Amino acid sequence: MNSKEQDPLSSSPSSRWWSKNTVAIVTGANKGIGFSLVRRFAELGLTVVLTARDSARGLTAVDALMAQGLHVHFFRLDVSDPSSIQSFVSWFKERFGAIDILVNNAAVSFNDQNENSVEHADTVINTNFYGPKLLTEALLPLFRISPSGGRILNISSRLGLLNKLENPKIKEILEDQERLSEKQIENMITLFLEDVRQGTWKSRGWPKIWTDYAVSKLALNAYSKLLAKRYESCGLSVNCFCPGFTRTSMTGGKGTHTADDAAEVGARLALLPLQELPTGKFYIARSTLVCSKL
C-alpha cells in the first residue's frame, strides 16, 4: 500500500463529525492497543463495541473502563472461528443495525524478540489474515451510508511490507495493483503454508523476521489495498496502520512507546474528517509517533 504524502496528524479536524450514534468495533480489545483504542473512542463520545476471544478477560476490561466512567459494549469474538464471527455479526446486527468504524486489531504471534518459529503458522494465518477478512466481509453490508463515510482501520506491521519479501515471483504479483485478486493473495498463503509443511520456507524468499506473522500481515496489507480500490466509490475508507514498536504483551513489554500513545494516533487516523480521509494507504508510526512516508 502507498503512504499518504501529507502527514494526517499535522492538521486537526475542522469539526467533530462523530457523535454517540457513531458505532465503532475494535477486535482483540481486552488489553494492549485494542483496549487503549476502545478507551480513546469512548472518551471521545463514540458508541464502542469491545470484543475479545476470552469472555472473562473481555468483561474484566469492560469493568476497568466502567471504573473510569466510560460505558462500552462487549461481545465475545474469536476471529479465527467462523462460527464465532457469525454469532457476533448476528448479535451486532440485532443490537445496533449499522457500523461506522471497524478496527481489526486482533492478532497473535508465537515468536519472541530472539525467535523465529513457524510451528503455529496455521493459527497465525487464520487469526491475523483470514479472521479480519471474514469479519470485514460479514460486516460490509452493515456499514452505514453517511456523509462522513465508513472507515476500516487494519492494525498491521511494517514486517508485512513488500520490501521484506525476497521471492521475486510473489513480489511481482503483489505489486501489480491492476491485476491483484483475492485468489492470488490466498494462493500466496497456500504456497507459504506448503513451504512450512515441507520445511523449505527458509529458502523460498519469505520475510526473515517473525516469518509467519510477517506473511499474515503481508496478506492483510494486500487485501486492504484490494478492498480500498473496490469500495472507493462507495464512501468506504480502508487503511492500514503500523503502531510501531509498542510496549505490549506481544513485544514482551518492550518498545519505544505505550499502547495509549499508539492508540492516540490510531484513533486520530480513524476519525479524520471526510475531506482529509484517505483510502488504500499504509501508515507507520515512528518512535516519535508521527506517521511517515515509507
Quote the CA–CA distance of 134 and 202 in Å, as a whole number. Answer: 29
Tell me the pLDDT band of 132, cut-offs 50, 70 and 90: very high
Closest CA to 39 of 75, 71, 3: 71
pLDDT for residue 74 is more than 90: yes
Crossing angle of helices 131-139 and 211-231, in 10° steps, is 20
Tell me the pLDDT band of 145, cut-offs 50, 70 and 90: confident
- Other beta carbons within 10 angstroms of residue 193's beta carbon come to 17
* Topology of the domain covering 21-292: Rossmann fold (3.40.50)
pLDDT for residue 14 is more than 70: no
**What are the residue ranges spanned by the domains of the chain?**
21-292
SS (H, E, C) the chain: CECCCCCHHHCCCCCCCCCCCCEEEECCCCCHHHHHHHHHHHHCCCEEEEEECCHHHHHHHHHHHHCCCCCCEEEECCCCCHHHHHHHHHHHHHHCCCECEEEECCCCCCCCCCCCCCCCHHHHHHHHHHHHHHHHHHHHHHECCCCCCEEEEEECCHHHCHHHCCCHHHHHHHHCCCCCCHHHHHHHHHHHHHHHHHCCHHHCCCCCCCHHHHHHHHHHHHHHHHHHHHHHHHCEEEEEEECCCECCHHHCCCCCECHHHHHHHHHHHHCCCHHHCCCCEEEEECCCCCEECC
pLDDT for residue 98 is more than 70: yes
Tell me the pLDDT band of 195, cut-offs 50, 70 and 90: very high
pLDDT for residue 202 is more than 80: yes
pLDDT for residue 22 is more than 90: yes
Quote the CA–CA distance of 78 and 126 in Å, as a whole number. Answer: 11
Once rounded to an integer, what is the mean pLDDT over residues 165-179? 91
Q: Which residues of 235-253 are buried (b: 16+ CB within 10 A; e: fewer)?
A: bbbbbbbbbbbbbbebeee
By CB atoms closer than 10 A (0-12, 13-18, 19+), residue 95 is exposed
Active site residues: 213
State residue 174 phi and psi, 5-degree precision. -70, -25
pLDDT reported for residue 170: 93
Closest CA to 23 of 48, 51, 50, 52: 48
Summarised one tens digit per residue, pLDDT across range 207-265 is 999 999 999 999 999 999 999 999 999 999 999 999 887 677 776 777 667 888 989 99
Higher pLDDT, 43 or 284: 43
Predicted TM-score of the model (pTM): 0.91
Helix (H), strand (E) at residue 169: helix 168-175
What is the distance of C-alpha 34 from the center of its chain?
Answer: 10
**Per-residue cell: 230:** 473496490
